[in-house]
Amino acid sequence: MLRGYPLAKLQVRELNLISINPVALQIKKGIYQLQKLVILRIECFSLEEGYGNQIPLQSLKVLQLRCVTYSSDEALSNLLSSLPSLQDLYLDRCSSVKNTKTLSIAVPCLQRLTVLRCPDYCESHLMKLNVTAPSLKFLNVEDHWRNVSFSEEKMEELIEADINVSYIDTEKLLRAIVSVKRLSLCLITSKIMRVNLLFNQLVYLEICTCQQEWWNVLEKVLLSSSKLCILKLHQKHIFGTTDPTVRWKEPSSVPVCFASHLETFEWRGYEGTEEEKKLASYILRKAGRLKTVTFYPLISHPDIRTRRILKSHE
Identify whether 147 is part of a domain.
no
Clarify whether residues 130 and 10 are in a common domain.
yes
When divided into structural domains, the chain yields a total of: 2
Domain limit, last residue, from 105, 137, 169: 137
Clarify whether residues 128 and 188 are in a common domain.
no
Query: Are 177 and 197 within 8 A, CB to CB?
Result: no
Produce one character per residue of 217-238: b if its CB has 16 or more CB atoms within 10 Å, e if not. Answer: bbbbbbbbbbebbbbbbbbbee
CATH number at residue 300: 3.80.10
| Residue of 200 and 154 predicted with greater confidence | 200
Q: How far is 22 from 242, CA to CA, in rounded Å?
A: 40
Clarify whether residues 112 and 184 are in a common domain.
no
pLDDT tens digit string along 64-84?
Answer: 998 888 877 888 888 899 899
Q: How far is 4 from 7, CA to CA, in rounded Å?
A: 9
Clarify whether residues 302 and 185 are in a common domain.
yes
pLDDT tens digit string along 249-308?
Answer: 888 899 999 999 999 999 998 888 888 999 999 999 999 999 999 999 876 444 544 555
Q: How far is 144 from 147, CA to CA, in rounded Å?
A: 8
